[in-house]
Structure 1
Amino acid sequence: MADDCEVYCRYRGGNLSVHIAAHPGEEAYAGDALLEAVIGPYLHGGLSLGQLCRYAGITINGYAPPLPTAVEILKEGLLDLSGETTFLDLGVICTHPSAIEFYDDIVNNLSEVMGCDDVNGNWHDFKLCDRGEFAIGWRMCLARRSGPMYTMQHWPLEIANIEGVGSFPVFGLIQHAAFQANNPPRWYTYLCRPQKPAILLREKGGLDVDDLWLRLSFPANDESSRQLAEEIYNIFVRRFPPATLLAYNIDTGERVPDQDPIAPCPFDSRVAAWVAGGEDRWFWGTQSCGIPLGYR
């Protein structure tokens, strides 16, 4: 800055923040917030200096860094956050069979969408890929049979090569990993063991689940793509209808209404059935004010 105050810009999880130091020599992050805005998809964190300057309408010593090239876009995982591209990001904790059924729902019910494995380009190849010591999973593409072709200007997620069909820009991407039985639980270390037994998802004795993510992107002025995205969203809601979680004191079984989540979340019917199948089963566990909380 002209007054020698430092500026701190951060883009993480789709959130862009800009802070400026109150005085020269002080930390910028502890200073005033000039901007706090959600500009990208959930969990996205790739933003070039050229994009930042273009979107914010600023220059660096009078110089505007160029926007990234097509090669840089693909290599760095960048997206068009100018407002010319629309994104739909959906997530749910679900079982592996439900994830496969959701993918099938889209491919089998929407004639405009083709399904393919993005690793080998094989049509409908449900290839399980090793994802580490404790997990297996897959990553599949949704390509359009017809409609406007994307260009690098609109920054598609990637290109899928489908054997016998050709190359198609990816309209959407579905990712899921199924955790194997009896792994070390993710949340165990954050939950003090209650007096009564409690089994959480992903804990030993729990249900094999993990996060499923659906990502779609299309030009904001493309009405046919918007309609298709709405149809896919409706399929998601039918497969994973929203449900309201309730908080309980695991030790006493009493309700703790002030700890209820604010909004409903999408739910896998298999997960709901597992939680309902035993008094010691909980969708999620945590602590608040020394109380071991469980959610169902």
Structure 2
Amino acid sequence: MPDFDPDQFHTPPKVTPLNLDCISLDGGGWAPSQFEGKTQEGYNIYCRYRGGYLSVEISNEPDGDPLNNGHLILAAGLGPKLHGAMSLGQLCSIAGITINGMQPPMPSLPEMRKNGWLDLSGASSFYDFYMECTVETAKHAATIAHNILEEAYFVETIRDNDHQIVGAVLRNTAAEFETSDPTIIFGVKPSASKLAKVSQNVWLEDLCSNSLVVDLSCIGFQCPPPTFARSHYIDKRLENVGRSIKIAGYDNECLHQTLWMRATFPADDVDKRSTLQQITDKLVALRPEIKIQATDLETGERLPSFDKTERVDPKIAEWALSDVENWLRVRVESVNEQNIIVGYRPSI
């Protein structure tokens, strides 16, 4: 099997069961999901799931506080990095917890979709790819991903005036996108009659179960990206030294945002994983690594200790280099316990 980039792929690991029986256990929520309970022996437990990380802590003594006077009995990088929701049934199944000898039921598929719960059993793998870029580059990236395989199709959902999904349509190119969340289907071309069945309860994955379904998300596909709000503190300090600058993302000449691609697929499906890795390789190459130089914007002094090497959208780098007062970003950094205003731009 080929090596796959761990930053894009995640398969939930198998967790050693706690074999813990509780008198009570309840909770819920999103980012984090939190559950509190008491074991048959009277020890309190606290379970938390956020950022893909699941932890269970238990008090050191009966009726004690598991957070302030307890210890960790389970810690697992369970889900994708930005995920933070699970049901009570999932928690108990994964962690090996019962309530009075019984395991709570697992949620149904409609319940999972409604609540944003994922299959964390290890049977499914998750793919997440992010890149900061201009809308032009985002559309180019979508086209590159689409062209990885010959049988690939752009699809967009249709929503009514109440924002409910009432079908889907094929798009020929990324230039035709009308929504911020199109999809690429790798596999058999879906018919118009099949796409008409797409709804809040019937997903593309249900109708194209053998295909690889990759969801895209980028606000700029639908409307202009928002302009970030600048720091009044930074602007005031630069004004005091007579400096006027432009910052990528904060200026209408160079707006950018995050393109997100994600997919869920069977953990043992090497072909789907390989296709996603090919997409990753192509998209990573879109933003070559360049050297970023740091400068104290109040004194003009170069700060080599803050220099970096990172991947940057060439469109953004080109804009930054087009004027000496165009900057990739500006931050407040600490040097010798003093706050200084540091600007970052590509090395010439």
TM bracket, shorter-chain basis = 0.7 to 0.9
Distance 1:55 1:288, change over 3 A: same
Give the superposition deviation at 1:212: 0.8
Question: What letter matches 2:278 in structure 1?
Answer: E
Task: Report the CA distance between 1:206 and its aligned residue.
Answer: 5.1
Q: Compute the TM-score of the two structures, normalised by the length of structure 1.
A: 0.77
2:263 to 216, 240, 244: 216
Partner residue, 1:293:
342
In 2 relative to 1, CA 257–89 (structure 1 residues): closer, same or farther, beyond 3 Å? farther
| Equivalent residue runs for 1:1-296 within 5 Å | 1-2=38-39, 4-22=42-60, 24-26=63-65, 28=67, 31-119=70-158, 120-124=167-171, 126-129=176-179, 138-146=180-188, 159-160=203-204, 167-169=207-209, 171-178=213-220, 180=224, 183=227, 185-186=228-229, 188=231, 191=234, 193-195=236-238, 196-205=243-252, 207-243=254-290, 245-259=292-306, 265-289=310-334, 290-296=339-345
Structure 2: how far apart are the matches of 1:256 and 1:19? Answer: 45
Residue 45 of structure 1 aligns to a residue whose secondary structure is coil
Segments of 5+ residues of structure 1 without an aligned counterpart are 130-137, 147-157
Q: Is the 8 A contact 2:295 2:301 kept in 1?
A: yes
For residues 1-31 of structure 1, the C-alpha deviation after alignment (integer angstroms, 9 at most, x for no partner) is: 3354433322222222333445545362785
1:276 to 1:32, Cα distance in 2 relative to 1, 3 A: farther
State whether residues 219 and 225 of structure 2, in contact with CA within 8 Å, keep that contact through their aligned partners in structure 1. no
Alpha-carbon RMSD across the aligned residues, in angstroms, is 3.1
1:5–1:25 CA contact under 8 A, matched in 2: yes
Q: Which amino acid aligns with 1:272?
A: A
Q: Percent identity?
A: 29
Question: Contact conserved, 1:140 with 1:173, CA < 8 A, in 2?
Answer: yes
Contact 1:14 1:45 in 2 (8 A): yes
Length-normalised TM-score, structure 2: 0.67
- Gapped regions of structure 2 (runs ≥ 5): 1-37, 159-166, 189-201
Native 8 Å contact 1:8 1:29 kept in 2: no
Q: Map Cα deviations across residues 36-68 of structure 1 (whole Å, 9 max, x no partner).
A: 432222322221121122222222333212221
| Equivalent AA in structure 1 for residue 108 of structure 2 | T
Output the amino acid matched with 2:330.
G
Out of 91-100 and 20-29, give the one that drifted further.
20-29
Q: Is the 8 A contact 1:5 1:28 kept in 2?
A: no
3-state DSSP of counterpart to 2:153: strand
- Aligned residue type for 1:294: G
